A and B are shown apart, each in its own frame.
Chain A
Amino acid sequence: MLPLELDQLTFSAGNAAIIRGISARIEAGPRTVILGPNGAGKSVLMRLCHGLLTPTSGRVVWHGSKNGDVRRHQAMVFQRPVMLRRSALANVVYGLKLAGKSRSQSELRAMDVLEVVGLAQHAARPARVLSGGEQQRLALARAWALGPDVLFLDEPTANLDPASTQDIESIINAIHASGTKIIMTTHNLGQARRLGDEILFISNGRLVEHTPIDRFFKQPASAEAATFIKDEMP
């Protein structure tokens, strides 16, 4: 799949330009964090990468893709988990069956990932009665079960308390350790620092910086980034 290349990507909704000509090359390996203030266009950029939105102009190119089916090799977790009205286990099985796995295969795999995210004891419970943190863990399990090459995460902890946030972050690291490329958005500097290896800093629909994490925090190259770091740091 990787590297992922964004070539002069733009996206407008009506007359409003949301992404204004972003070019970047995202390599396999490091955890990529898309950082930026609210309204910078982070979520839209991620949806363009994942293929949920079609760019107004420019291209999204997966250089490592052997055949045309790029969707199969990526998954996404949303800020607000969308739980199907069925059991936790069935939510994970649903994604696997769409990916063409048999029911018995799917159920085994689903139980495994539920175990890893610590939801095995809730497997039979309706997904919608789980707590917010549990639902987000379930969403991660559903995505992870597919064994994607790339996992997109859009502000995965924005609505969660600190304890749940910690759970989610350690699962994200486990997924990374299993060999899946992580690309996530956040507006939280602490989280970027804890989870990121490299930063794509977005402001007002433009890519302002694309740098390794240490350099970004020590000596940001742009005034926007410097201001953002200063304002957000406690």
Chain B
Amino acid sequence: MNSLGEAFAAAWKLIAGFDAELAQVVGLSLQVSLSAVVIATLIGLPLGAMIAVERFPGRQTLIVLLNALMGLPPVVVGLVVYLLLSRAGPLGSLGILFTPTAMVIAQAVLITPIIAALSRQIIEDAWREYDEQLRSLGAQRLNAAMTLIWDTRFSLLTIVLAGFGRAAAEVGAVMIVGGNIDGVTRVMTTAIALETSKGDLPLALGLGIVLVTLVIVLNALAAIIREMALRRYG
């Protein structure tokens, strides 16, 4: 079994050769998944913070629901978004099926619950510690929520990275709503799936290695930022 060796050779060839087609696929992967993570964060973080500091009927149910939605199967998300965006579906007139926009939407749907649920947990833990002090200083709910988000930002960064990892690694949703169109909606994971079905396992695995390397580099960067910031702000 020298397939692994071949895979590393293929990965090295891909990186060293800096193939324009590969660069485009990698670029689109990053663009789609980063956009999705930005959108999911803009929605999920305030949502998580709100649930953490507010008390309202149905809150516990909402928490259970969000926690469960963290395990949403990408294929199901893809299918639902597909049916929504399909010409025969309610949002068909937008005409964005099989575009990167559709892929961003699907991935954002997939990871918003992850970001909301995990940030809810972290912010609520911090809220328990800060609650009395912040109220004593006269902070209103919104103000308190912002303070908690800021003070837990390093933990929240880890959550955002987890969301990004999930988005960049999933194939089920983008395959369905993107269609894996060469040069338009082909990203790392769908390219890997395609090469696998063509039986070119070394190339598929090589692409996989490139993807994993990319995710590692991004996480390392985030870890460095976190480390520096922690040293600065405690």
List residues of chain A with CB under 8 Å of any chain B CB: 47, 50, 52, 71-72, 75-76, 78, 82-87, 94-95, 98-99, 126-129, 142, 146
Whether B133 lies near A78 (C-beta < 8 A) is yes
A87 to B231, CA, bound (A): 12
What are 5 contact pairs spanning A and B, CB under 8 A? A52-B135, A99-B138, A126-B232, A126-B234, A146-B137
B61 close to A (CB within 8 Å)? no
Contacts of A98 in B (CB 8 A): 137-139, 143
* B129 with A82: CB separation less than 8 A: yes
Query: Which residue in chain A gives the minimum CB-CB distance to B136?
Result: A76
Per the 8 Å Cβ criterion, residues 13-34 of B in contact with A are: none
B interface with A by C-beta (< 8 Å): 129-130, 132-133, 135-139, 143, 147, 150-153, 232-234
Taking the nearest CB of chain B, how far is it from the CB of A166, in angstroms? 24
Residues of B within 8 A of A84 (CB): 130, 147, 151
- Asked if A52 meets B136 with Cβ closer than 8 Å, knowing A85-B234, A87-B233, the reply is yes
- Are the CB atoms of B130 and A82 closer together than 8 Å? yes
Bound CA span A146–B63, Å: 37
Once the chains bind, are B138 and A52 in contact (CB under 8 Å)? no
Distance to closest chain B CB from A26 (angstroms) = 18
- Across the A-B interface, give the 5 residue pairs with the lowest CB-CB distance, nearest first: A126-B234, A128-B234, A82-B133, A85-B151, A76-B136
Contact of A126 among B130, B153, B233 (CB under 8 A): B233
CB-based contact A47/B132 at 8 Å: yes
Nearest B residue to A124 by beta-carbon distance?
B232
Q: Complex formed: what's the CA distance from A129 to B153 in Å?
A: 17
B91, chain A: closest CB distance, angstroms? 42
Residues of B within 8 A of A95 (CB): 137
Distance (Å) between the CB of A127 and the closest chain B CB? 7
- Please, which residues of chain A bring their CB within 8 A of the CB of B143? 98
Beyond A82-B132, A95-B137: 9 further Cβ-contacts under 8 Å? A75-B136, A76-B132, A82-B129, A85-B151, A85-B153, A86-B150, A86-B151, A87-B233, A98-B139
Give min CB distance, A7 to chain B, whole Å: 23
Contact partners of B234 in chain A: CB under 8 A? 83, 85, 126-129
B138 touching A72 by the CB < 8 A rule? yes
Residue pair A85, B137 in contact (C-beta under 8 Å): no
Among residues of A, the one whose C-beta sits closest to the C-beta of B143 is A98
Tell me the complex Cα distance, A50–B137, Å.
11
Question: A148 → chain B, closest Cβ, in Å?
Answer: 10
Query: Given the complex, which residues of B lie within 8 Å of A87, measured CB to CB?
Result: 233
Q: Are B136 and A50 within 8 A (Cβ)?
A: yes
Contacts of B152 in A (CB 8 A): 85
Complex interface: chain A residues within 8 A of B135 (CB): 52
Q: Using Cβ atoms and an 8 Å threshold, which residues of chain B touch A71?
A: 138
**Cβ contacts under 8 Å, A78 to chain B:** 132-133, 136
A221 shortest CB reach to chain B, Å: 34
Rounded to whole Å, the gap between the CB of A198 and the closest CB of chain B is 24
Name the distance in Å between B4's Cβ and chain A's nearest Cβ.
44
Contacts of B150 on A, CB cut-off 8 Å?
85-86
Q: Chain B residues with Cβ under 8 A from A47's Cβ?
A: 132
Instruction: Report Cα–Cα, A76/B132, bound state, in Å.
Output: 9
Q: Which residues of B contact A50 (CB under 8 A)?
A: 136
